[in-house]
RNA sequence: GUCCCCAUCGUCUAGAGGCCUAGGACACCAGCCUUUCACGUUGGUAACACGGGUUCGAAUCCCGUUGGGGACGCCA
């Protein structure tokens, strides 16, 4: 039997990190089994679903590289089919009309709460004669769920989970306005789409019981389930906007690479021995449901940063230049071919030092800034009067040397030696004057990339700016 | 309140009764490398929540306690 899975977000907000991981797991599972991975937008909440949210989800998935198979299914376009199934259950006597008003139901809930009993529908209309129906009340349709025994699900992550049917109530499958409710829609769509494995967040575990009851009433095959533990914030509490319940676009904005996020998300809740750095190809080969852990996990930016740094160092220079230019242009205006060329030459030295694209852009800024390059506080301190004096006396030597990283370094080393100072005594002021900062890629490499005129010009600027 | 799930270093995890004096990774600390910062490298601190069983033997199995989490909508 071929595997068919789906990712089914509801477009009431952005694609958050938990959803991204669910999508990743489904995608990996499908690719591993050479099956089908589909996307279904659960937009039946007409009031809260927005086009922007749908776009954000689609964009987020595309950025993450989780391509789906076939057409996107919009649940809102299948309402008629869902209603038809509800009516079928009604006709078969496996569902019934319920004439309770929302107020009555609220009273029932209150009563149950007060009595310390499970909060559930009392079954008021389950066996009542519909002829007693109050006039003018539009009924909802409820599933006639089993009252005895228990409902059991075999979960690939949680194992066998069972709950007494007495805990469950007769859930509404079709609202009074004729629209289907979530659990019915999910069951009908999963069935119609031929979904074989439902991999989703653990918060759906209890829905699995209700959905199982609907499957049974319909005499349809129940799919395999895998409920993945949720992702918590660093403090162990529910993810909040402060620490991780951000849209994937926010991670992109912070400068994370999609391949790094994929690797991080994969390892968050799934393991394969000691493997940490896992390429997507390798992940497809290895991914299995049994590797999913059963405990919730916490989101940790430090580890994501580390992974991102790894993938950054691995990334193609041209690609990184494009990402950096995009950010730098937003800040400094258009960057010409010369600037791009410097960035490309300097990228190897730059990317070895960054954790995120944002950091990369910040540290690359000096390559494309127009003179005079502003000196930050640390650079100013490094220069001081001694630093400037050192640079001044170094100028003639720099002016005459052949302009390459190796010759520049050799010349400055020779000078340091003859002056009886450490290389740093000359290199640091140079770095400060040329980059405006005390931290940069190797300074002779920087000088070589910048070229003789630009470098000497910057040094002169720094000398002139003496306080 | 009711039901369900979970529990190994700070974090992510390896571990499916003896291979565990509990392994790896991130973070942290120290050393090395070094023109800065990173990278790299070497070493270090650090965990089986607690209490009972079962067993010759338990991180691994069972029960309870505690602590987290999730669900209880005519939302999805």
Report pLDDT for A372.
92
Residue A244 has pLDDT above 60, yes or no: no
Whole-number Å distance, CA A366 to C1' B8? 47
Any residues with CB less than 8 A from the CB of A96 and at least 6 apart, and which? A90, A125, A126, A130, A141, A142, A144, A170
Report pLDDT for A105.
81
Residue A47 has pLDDT above 80, yes or no: no
Q: pLDDT band for position A467 (50/70/90)?
A: low
Eight-state DSSP code of residue A237:
S
Report pLDDT for A109.
84
Cα dist. A302→A72, A121, A205, A228, A422 in Å? 35, 47, 30, 23, 35
Residue at shortest CA–C1' distance from B6: A295
Cα dist. A380→A190, A369, A375, A440 in Å? 65, 17, 6, 15
Residue pLDDT, tens place only, A268-295: 999 999 999 999 999 999 999 999 999 9
Whole-number Å distance, CA A383 to C1' B43? 37
Distance in angstroms (rounded) separating the CA atoms of residues A308 and A253 = 13
Residue pLDDT, tens place only, A92-138: 999 999 998 888 888 888 888 877 787 788 777 788 777 777 778 88
Q: pLDDT band for position A447 (50/70/90)?
A: very high
Q: What radius of gyration, in Å, describes the C-alpha atoms of chain A?
A: 31
Distance in angstroms (rounded) separating the CA atoms of residues A215 and A155 = 16
What value does the mean pLDDT of chain A take? Answer: 92
How large is the average pLDDT for residues A333-345? 96
The nucleotide lying nearest A12 (C-alpha to C1') is: B76
Report pLDDT for A154.
93
Cis preceding-peptide flag for A368 (omega within 30 of 0): no
Which of A23-32, A38-47, A154-163, A242-251 is least confident?
Answer: A242-251
Residue at shortest CA–C1' distance from B3: A167
How large is the average pLDDT for residues A255-262? 97
Residue A235 has pLDDT above 80, yes or no: no
**Exposed e or buried b per residue across A146-177, where buried means at least 16 C-beta atoms within 10 angstroms of its C-beta:** eeeeebebebbbbeebebebeebbbbbbbbbe
How large is the average pLDDT for residues A419-434? 93
Report pLDDT for A129.
77
Helix H or strand E encompassing A39: strand A36-41
Which of the listed ranges A121-135, A231-245, A368-382 does the model predict with the highest average pLDDT?
A368-382
Which nucleotides of strand B lie under 7 Å from a protein CB? Answer: 1-8, 10-15, 23-27, 35-40, 68-76
Helix H or strand E encompassing A160: strand A159-164
Distance in angstroms (rounded) separating the CA atoms of residues A409 and A445 = 9
The structure tokens listed for A186 are 């999910």
Complete DSSP assignment for A91-119? HTTSEEEE---HHHHHHHHHHHHHHT---
How large is the average pLDDT for residues A178-202? 96
How large is the average pLDDT for residues A6-23? 92
Residue A240 has pLDDT above 60, yes or no: no
Whole-number Å distance, CA A417 to C1' B32? 24
Report pLDDT for A124.
76
Report pLDDT for A466.
67
Residue at shortest CA–C1' distance from B8: A295
Report pLDDT for A384.
83
Q: What ipTM does this complex have?
A: 0.94
Cis preceding-peptide flag for A372 (omega within 30 of 0): yes
pTM for this model (two decimals): 0.94
Whole-number Å distance, CA A395 to C1' B37? 25
């Amino acid at each position: 039997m071929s595997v068919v899975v789906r990712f089914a977000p509801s477009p009431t907000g952005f694609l958050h990190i938990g959803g991204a991981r669910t999508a990743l797991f489904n995608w990996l599972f499908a690719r591993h089994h050479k099956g089908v991975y589909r996307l279904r937008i659960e937009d039946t909440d007409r009031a809260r679903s927005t086009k922007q949210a749908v776009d954000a989800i689609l964009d987020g998935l595309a950025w993450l590289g989780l391509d789906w198979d076939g057409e996107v299914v919009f649940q809102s376009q299948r309402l008629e089919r869902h209603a038809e199934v509800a009516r079928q259950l009604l006709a078969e006597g496996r569902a019934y009309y319920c004439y309770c008003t929302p107020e009555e139901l609220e009273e029932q809930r209150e009563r149950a709460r007060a009595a310390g009993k499970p909060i559930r529908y009392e079954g008021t209309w389950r066996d009542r004669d519909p002829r007693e129906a109050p006039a003018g009340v539009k009924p909802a349709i409820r599933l006639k769920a089993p009252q005895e025994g228990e409902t059991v699900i075999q979960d690939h992550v949680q194992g066998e989970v069972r709950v007494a049917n007495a805990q469950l109530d007769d859930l509404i499958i079709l609202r009074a306005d004729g629209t289907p409710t979530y659990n019915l829609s999910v069951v009908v769509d999963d069935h119609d789409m031929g979904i074989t494995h439902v991999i989703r967040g653990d918060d759906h575990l209890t829905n699995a019981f209700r959905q199982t009851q609907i499957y049974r009433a319909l005499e349809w095959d129940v799919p395999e389930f895998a409920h993945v533990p949720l992702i918590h914030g660093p403090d162990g509490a529910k993810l909040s906007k402060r620490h991780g319940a951000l849209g994937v676009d926010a991670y992109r904005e912070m400068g994370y690479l999609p391949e790094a996020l994929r690797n991080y998300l994969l390892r968050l809740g799934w393991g394969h021995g000691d493997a940490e750095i896992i390429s997507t190809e390798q992940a497809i080969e290895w991914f299995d449901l049994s590797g999913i852990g059963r405990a919730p996990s916490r989101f940790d930016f430090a580890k994501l940063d580390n992974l991102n740094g790894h993938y950054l160092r691995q990334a193609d220079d041209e690609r990184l230049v494009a990402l950096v230019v995009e950010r730098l242009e937003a800040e400094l205006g258009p960057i010409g071919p010369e600037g791009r060329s410097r960035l490309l030459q300097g990228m190897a030295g730059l990317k070895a030092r960054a954790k995120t694209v944002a950091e990369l852009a910040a540290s690359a800024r000096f390559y494309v800034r127009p003179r005079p390059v502003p000196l930050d506080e640390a650079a100013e301190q490094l220069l001081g009067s001694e630093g400037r004096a050192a640079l001044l006396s170094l100028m003639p030597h720099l002016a005459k040397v052949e302009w390459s990283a190796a010759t520049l370094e050799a010349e400055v080393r020779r000078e340091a030696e003859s002056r009886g100072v450490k290389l740093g005594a000359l290199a640091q002021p140079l770095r400060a004057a040329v980059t405006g900062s005390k931290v940069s890629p190797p300074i002779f490499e920087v000088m070589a990339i910048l070229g003789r005129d630009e470098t000497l010009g910057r040094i002169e600027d720094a000398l002139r700016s003496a306080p």
